[in-house]
Amino acid sequence: MILEVDHLSKEYATADGKTVALDKVSLRVRRGAFVAVMGSSCAGKTTLLNMIAGLDHPDSGSILFDGEEITRLPDRRSATLRRRKIGVICQFYNLVPELNVLENIILPTELDGREIDRTWLAEIVERIGLGGLEHAYPAFLSGGQQQRVSVARALFSKPALVLADEPTGNLDYENSAEVIRLLKFIREKYSSTILVATHSNQVAAEADRTVTLSCGKIISDRRRCDVSDC
């Protein structure tokens, strides 16, 4: 197992009192799985992904990532994990407007002080279909192109785990299919594990497993019949 979430709980204080974002959620994911986390808005999908990414801390419960308990990691160690082993993709792309396509893609690797693999960079740019737009800035790209850059950025360091929060939320059918294709490519080539929070049936149909959350609880966990151990 690459990921073991055990009895994870989180409450947020709101104007109306406390809101339960996650209520004793437990989930085990094997290496190389493609898991879709579905559920309505406020079901707890983003909270779950943020906890796994180390961007938020749970009230109780634990997360074992690659054998390491990560819920109480110091910020420094948590940041290192995100640079080296976890790729994060957001619905609103989160590209740095001051950097062009190439620079956005290599940013996490550069932040980590590692050497840039130029061959892999050229390959990934071709694969996301942005050959010729390497030096374009995000403001000059369409939503679909920006999301492809965001996916490429998350995949460039060949992470063990990719966390994608509504990666196709703002995209049309064609661009969504392209994003899914990229996620599947990285999984096949580098055995990366993909965890996608989504509303999209198109994404869920491509996943080996669909976990549905409602009001912070897992209400269903379905595996595709041909993949029983994901």
Partner 1 sequence: MSLIAEIARRRIRRNASASFLHSAALFCSSGTLTLLVIFQVQVNDSLRGVTAGLPLGDFMEQLRSSVTLTAVFLTVLTVLTVKIFSDMRFSEIRQSLAVLTSLGATGWQKSKMLLVDILVLYVPPVLLGTAAGLLAAALAGTGLSENTRGVEPGLYFATWPFLSGILIVTDSALYFNFLFAF
State the residues that interact with partner 1 by CB under 8 A: 53, 55, 75-76, 79-84, 86, 88, 90, 94-96, 98-99, 103, 106-108, 110-112, 153
Question: What is the identity of the amino acid at 20?
Answer: V
Nearer to partner 1, 86 or 204 (CB): 86
Query: Least distance to partner 1 from the beta carbon of 56, Å?
Result: 11
Q: Residue 134 is encoded by which pair of tokens? A: 């390497």
Query: Least distance to partner 1 from the beta carbon of 66, Å?
Result: 16
Concatenated DSSP letters of 67-100 = TEE-TT--HHHHHHHHHHTEEEE-TT----TTS-
Nearer to partner 1, 92 or 190 (CB): 92
Nearer to partner 1, 1 or 111 (CB): 111
Concatenated DSSP letters of 123-142 = HHHHHTT-TT-TT--GGGS-
Nearer to partner 1, 157 or 210 (CB): 157
Query: Least distance to partner 1 from the beta carbon of 93, Å?
Result: 9
What is the distance in angstroms between the CA of the first residue and the CA of the last residue of the chain? Answer: 9
d(CA 121, CA 86): 18
- Is-contact 174 143, C-beta < 8 A? no
Query: Least distance to partner 1 from the beta carbon of 103, Å?
Result: 6
Query: Least distance to partner 1 from the beta carbon of 48, Å?
Result: 15
Nearer to partner 1, 51 or 53 (CB): 53
